[in-house]
Amino acid sequence: MSAVSEQIETPKVDANIRLQFAETMLSVGQADPQLVVMVGDISHFALQPFAEACPGRYYNIGICEPTSVSMAAGLSRVGLYPVFHTIAPFIIERSFEQIKLDFCYQKLGGNLVTVGSAFDYSNLGVTHHCYDDFALLKTLPNTEIFHPASAAEFDSLFRQSYRNDKLSLFRIPGKPHGLAINPDKIVAGTAIRIESGSNLTIVATGTQLASALGALVQLRASGWDPEILYIHTIQPLDIAGIRESVSKTGRVLVIEEHMENGGLGDSVLRGVHDLRPFQFASISIPNEFVTGYGSYEEHCETLGLTSAGILRTVEIEFDLP
Amino acid sequence: MSHNTLRREIVKMVVHGQNGHIPSAFSIVDIVEALYDKHLNVRSDDPDWADRDYFLLSKGHGCVALYAVLHQHGFLTDADLELFCKKGGILGEHPDMTKVPGAEASSGSLGHGLPFGAGIALGLQIQKKPNRIFVLCGDGECHEGTIWETAHVARNCLLGNLCVIVDWNQSGQQLLPIDDLPAKWSAFGWKTMVVNGHCQNELHEAIESHEFHTNGVPLAIIAQTVKGKGVPMLEGHGPWHHRIPNTDELAIIEKALQ
């Protein structure tokens, strides 16, 4: 890992992560002449400061995502550090073979920055949803998957990782989790212990950290002493940190805005499967399309991706010691 | 080197390795040889030399032709060829750039080499380097949407350091007969030339007539070729696409290539 420029100031906890992406590109791009940004006709205006400050290194390629991914790999082949940014399904699903072959098989590093993952674009429907990105990228060697749910995390994780030889996915959620995290604790591949506890581990990623925090008071009132582990790096996953916690608590609940198959829950279960006895539960998106309409919050409500969903699941799935 | 010498090397590799696409290799071998003999600025003793030109074989199934030419130019050894498709070897039925010295892309799945090459071209344009990029595609490969996405993008990005050579052996037209490739590339704004892909002088003239430039019009050379060229028994679109000759057939092929 390498960082050619240092983070200047910690963004506010509710700062828009997508706008932070543009600010980070500007800051890193001014320090590193090898950074090149390509977009699929989104965030074009937000990235104009980068385009003006880094002439010849910004390309709004248009609506041709597979070719854009291949071209980004070509940039990497000649020693540049490419960033390709557009809506999640059009990179991860439509261009999966280009990621697999042109980056991963050829052992080239690069950076994919997505918005519109899970059901963030709730009313745009299934064509604009992407809740399989963890699962798909996990099948590919030489990949990293980051899920920064605060502007500070995006900035820090990008600077830590963008120049390495991995294909790095940065999944930007539409809504930050809202918690201020000590910048020193934001380390790629390392879980962050938000709360210490003794009899229940809650593993939360993305915006769902807010749901975990929101459930704390009532969980404690019910006799639980929860430990919250926040995961901003899905791959490589901090298995050691999760095992340490589950060894202590004997119970683990995973909450994520990803489909059940291949998500964080699967990885956690694989990582702790030999720590018997323990109890496991997960709150995720069922292995079905989300075809209903409504806001992001309403989708979360429907799927149990809320503090209330955590309380309900804990009551049903776990035995209070 | 005699064209038949390379063709004999290709047949020898395929028979020894019991794998490979002889007709596809015979279709492109004159083009690949012409590029390495006269146009590509490359170094066999330093395949990753920063100032090299790039050749990407996007139709990876023709790779035995590339292997034969890379061997001829010192990138590969006799031992490498002996181990074609054998355990412990570096040469498979599609080239792997992480293994093969001189291979610039790990091709096989069609429609990847040209956009990847366009990315290399864009990267060199950004770095203001004069290296040239040649990508050899199949005409069947031109069914892939990424070919035309790239045609569109490369022209708009003025990738004048990029040349696509299309191996127009009519494979694509077996399936989709309305296939005026020169008109298509021309319509996308590329400088388009049609040559006999088995006449190296025509290829040389086409390439030498073009001014490669990091901010210019990309070049499309539509090379009219014959699949299996050089051995009448193999020519055309019959069963020989991926067939290994038996002893009797090998004798016929060797006689034709004398």
Mean pLDDT calculated for residue range A260-276: 96
Domains and CATH numbers, chain A: 17-171 (3.40.50.970), 189-317 (3.40.50.920)
Q: Do A64 and B153 touch (CB under 8 A)?
A: yes
CA distance B145 to chain A (A): 9
Domain count, chain B: 1
Q: Do A67 and B153 touch (CB under 8 A)?
A: yes
Q: Which of B190, B114, B105, B193 is nearest to B149 (CA)?
A: B114
Give residue-wise pLDDT tens across range A133-185.
999 999 999 999 999 999 999 999 999 999 999 999 999 999 999 999 999 99
CB-CB contact of B41 with B82 (8 Å): no
DSSP state of A116: S
| Candidates B98, B106, B118; nearest CB to A71 | B118
The pTM of this model reads: 0.96
Mean pLDDT calculated for residue range B116-143: 97
Mean pLDDT calculated for residue range A209-234: 98
Q: Do B122 and A71 touch (CB under 8 A)?
A: yes
Q: Is the pLDDT of residue A290 over 90?
A: yes
The CATH number linked to B93 is 3.40.50.970
Q: Is the pLDDT of residue B194 over 70?
A: yes
Q: What is the 3-state secondary structure (H, E, C) of chain B?
A: CCHHHHHHHHHHHHHHHCCCCHHHHHHHHHHHHHHHHHHCCCCCCCCCCCCCCEEEECCHHHHHHHHHHHHHCCCCCHHHHHCCCCCCCCCCCCCCCCCCCCCCCCCCCCCCHHHHHHHHHHHHHHCCCCCCEEEEEECCHHHCHHHHHHHHHHHHCCCCCEEEEEEECCHHHHHCCCCCHHHHHHHCCCEEEEEECCCHHHHHHHHHCCCCCCCCCCEEEEEECCCCCCCHHHCCCCHHHHCCCCHHHHHHHHHHCC
Query: Would you place residue B1 in the very low, low, confident or very high pLDDT band (cuts 50, 70, 90)?
Result: low
What is the radius of gyration, based on Cα positions, of chain B? 17
Query: Would you place residue A38 in the very low, low, confident or very high pLDDT band (cuts 50, 70, 90)?
Result: very high
A70 touches chain B (CB under 8 A): yes
Range of the domain at B244: 3-256
* Mean pLDDT of all residues belonging to chain B: 96
| Candidates A61, A70, A80; nearest CB to B116 | A70
CB-CB contact of A73 with A108 (8 Å): yes
Query: Could you tell me what percent of chain A has a pLDDT over 90?
Result: 94
A64 touches chain B (CB under 8 A): yes
pLDDT on residue B240: 87
Interface of B with A (CB under 8 A): 97-98, 104-106, 109, 112, 115-124, 126-127, 145-146, 149-150, 152-153, 157
Q: Is the pLDDT of residue B230 over 90?
A: yes
pLDDT on residue B239: 86
Q: Is the pLDDT of residue A8 over 70?
A: no
Inter-CA distances, B36 with A200, B2, B75, Å: 65, 14, 11
pLDDT on residue A163: 97
CA distance A318 to chain B (A): 48
pLDDT on residue A5: 44
CB-CB contact of B118 with B159 (8 Å): yes
Mean pLDDT calculated for residue range B183-188: 98
Mutate to test the interface with B, among A59, A63, A78, A104 (most CBs of B within 10 A): A78
| Candidates A61, A77, A80; nearest CB to B126 | A80
Give the tokens for residue A260: 């059940």
Mean pLDDT calculated for residue range B87-107: 97
Measured CA to CA, the distance from residue A223 to residue A195 in angstroms comes to 16
Give B-chain residues touching A36 at CB under 8 angstroms. 123, 126
pLDDT on residue A12: 84
Give residue-wise pLDDT tens across range A107-134.
999 999 999 999 999 999 999 999 999 9
Give residue-wise pLDDT tens across range B49-69.
999 999 999 999 999 999 999
Q: Do B118 and A67 touch (CB under 8 A)?
A: yes
Mutate to test the interface with A, among B58, B122, B134, B215 (most CBs of A within 10 A): B122
pLDDT on residue B242: 84
Mean pLDDT calculated for residue range A87-99: 98
Q: Is the pLDDT of residue B102 over 80?
A: yes
Mean pLDDT calculated for residue range B156-163: 98
A-to-B residue pairs, Cβ atoms closer than 8 angstroms: 88
